[in-house]
Amino acid sequence: MKLTGAEILVKSLEAEGVDTIFGYPGGGVLNIYDALYDCNLNHVLTRHEQGAAHAADGYARATGKPGVCLATSGPGATNLVTGLANAYMDSIPLVALTGQVATNFIGKDSFQEADITGITLPVTKHNYLVKDVKELSRVIKEAFHIATTGRPGPVLIDIPKDISATRTDFEYPETVNLRGYNPYVEAGQEQINLAAQAIAGAQRPVIYAGGGIIASHASAELKQLAELILAPVTTTLMAMGCFPENHPLSLGMLGMHGTAYANYAVSDCDLLIAVGARFDDRVTGNVATFAPDAKIIHIDIDPAEMGKNVRVDIRVLGDVKNSLARLVERVSAKMATEWQDKIARWKKEHPLSYDQKCGGLKPQYVIEQISELTKDREAKICTEVGQHQMWAAQYYTFTQPRSFISSGGLGTMGYGFPSSIGAQVGCPDATVFNIAGDGSIQMNIQELATAVQYELPVNVAIMNNGFLGMVRQWQEMFYKRRYCNVEITAPDFVKLAEAYGAEGIRVTEAAQVKPALEQAMASSKPVFLDFIVEKEENVFPMVPPGGSLNKMIGG
């Protein structure tokens, strides 16, 4: 029997092992939604298409499986763009499905028409406009292959309404053959040997781990190498949890708001082993003074990253997991030296610190309490973007990969709450927290209706300081405290939560923090925790924009 394009789409998604779609219906995708009526796929109705894209992104980060989102043509499709750009910057596997006007109406400024393939070309790994229903199953197979292989990323499939209605024979392809796309790269033995030789000769090695460790499931190999050569490990924001932060070799995060000892170690090392990282500006600061005395090894699957931002001495182009495993076989165990003693001294002399006894409730204390109460659970910690995001990276102790879910490269306010919904859907037994600010939570606050409808017990910890905190901090430090449009009015978050059918708890004192968190974690409903925190608390340490890592402010 011949199937419609919509039915072929559903069958193809099932063949790919998809279990959940995050979406919002509309005229351009009515054929698809009609086909969804009779299938076993779980559809989560978000309240905005941007929420659908971020939820699919959070699902992908939490589970390691590609996220799928669905939107109608025109404004529905364009509302996905921020979510696609966010996934693209952070290399997250995503397949976005959009409706389009019928093929005979394309290019005629038809109702709810938008050139979504043209619009998303810069923020997707690849995209398709399907013009023949016979090509649909092949396109879907290719899309999932492209999204999940090599350096992962989002792929968009635009499906005109007549294509979703047209019938044809259905056969899902078993293999993919894309000319010129050979994403799996095995590093050359010569490069592995050069890297091993450099490690053998190093006195002060540091491993700088990026999100590629998590993408390639290489945490075990990373730990093996670090322990073998006694190299301290510092991670990017995207790599939090890939190396246990309670390990003696952990340096925590580096960069603009990294730990002082991570930044000192990178500045003083003689060998920097960068693995699955892209040397972004928030990590390097002034590239002229970044790891100035170090030989740099860069292990990555994407050749475009090699030497893009900093000079690289040894380029190991290949799959991170495979490259690390082979490197472990080639290097010898190292003995402790003065380098490890120096790192320990920096940790003792320059710890992360704050004073809960001075002023009001400190956001750092709240995050430490969340960390303590969830340390023996499977936890997924999502964040919005701002000061609270940096405090989460600093004061939550991450020990497992895929436990930290945050917008890195794009820095998308409004990301955290829908991503926490995606994480909770993908990991129903996990304790999920979204650490938010009173500004960023309002950007996608409508998704509280989604969490309530699907009975998702997401905990939202709002650091409520009455400011757009990170912008205020910059205006304080670099603009002579000329606060311009950073003081914000927020709703009563407790009443708002209750209006949606969720629970709301307000906390004003340190003694209330732990009981409130325990109450929230015991609830079967979504909970908004409104923490009234110190208004002008700053994130320290801080490397001024364009500054050197070893010249930090505060902390």
Catalytic residue chosen out of the listed positions 2, 111, 308, 372: 111
CA distance 236 to 89: 14
Q: Catalytic site residue 477?
A: no
Asked whether residue 143 carries a pLDDT value surpassing 70, the answer given is yes
The reported pTM is 0.97
Q: At 345, is the pLDDT very low, low, confident or very high (cuts 50, 70, 90)?
A: very high
Asked whether residue 26 carries a pLDDT value surpassing 80, the answer given is yes
Would you say how long the chain is, in residues?
Answer: 555
- Closest by CA position to 419, among listed 22, 19, 54, 91: 54
Q: Catalytic site residue 334?
A: no
* Alpha-carbon distances, residue 349 vs 254, 352, 395, 547, 550 (angstroms): 17, 10, 17, 22, 14
Average model confidence (pLDDT) across the chain: 97
pLDDT digits (tens, 9 = 90+) for 37-92: 999 999 999 999 999 999 999 999 999 999 999 999 999 999 999 999 999 999 99
Q: pLDDT at position 155, please?
A: 98
Catalytic residue chosen out of the listed positions 470, 473, 503, 534: 470
Architecture of domain 189-349 in this structure:
3-Layer(aba) Sandwich (3.40)
pLDDT digits (tens, 9 = 90+) for 184-205: 889 999 999 999 999 999 999 9
Q: Catalytic site residue 512?
A: no
Domain 363-532 in CATH: superfamily? Thiamin diphosphate (ThDP)-binding fold, Pyr/PP domains (3.40.50.970)
Q: Catalytic site residue 111?
A: yes
Catalytic residue chosen out of the listed positions 161, 295, 321, 347: 161
CA distance 55 to 61: 10
- Beta strand segments in 169-286, E: 205-209, 233-235, 250-253, 271-275
Q: Could you tell me if 433 and 379 are in contact, meaning their C-beta atoms sit under 8 angstroms apart?
A: yes
Q: Catalytic site residue 476?
A: no
Q: Does domain 3-168 have CATH number 3.40.605.10?
A: no
pLDDT digits (tens, 9 = 90+) for 489-539: 999 999 999 999 999 999 999 999 999 999 999 999 999 999 999 999 999
Q: At 322, is the pLDDT very low, low, confident or very high (cuts 50, 70, 90)?
A: very high
Element containing residue 129 per DSSP (H, E): strand 126-129
Asked whether residue 554 carries a pLDDT value surpassing 90, the answer given is no
Q: At 555, is the pLDDT very low, low, confident or very high (cuts 50, 70, 90)?
A: low
Asked whether residue 141 carries a pLDDT value surpassing 70, the answer given is yes
Burial of 103 (0-12, 13-18, 19+ CB in 10 A): middle
Residue ranges matching CATH 3.40.50.970 in the chain: 3-168, 363-532
Catalytic residue chosen out of the listed positions 65, 112, 453, 540: 112
Catalytic residue chosen out of the listed positions 11, 16, 22, 49: 49
Other beta carbons within 10 angstroms of residue 169's beta carbon come to: 11
Q: Could you tell me if 96 and 155 are in contact, meaning their C-beta atoms sit under 8 angstroms apart?
A: yes
CA distance 260 to 291: 14
Residue ranges matching CATH 3.40.50.1220 in the chain: 189-349
Q: Percent of the chain at pLDDT above 70? A: 100
Q: Percent of the chain at pLDDT above 90? A: 98
SS (H, E, C) 293-305: CCEEEEEECCHHH
CA distance 409 to 404: 15
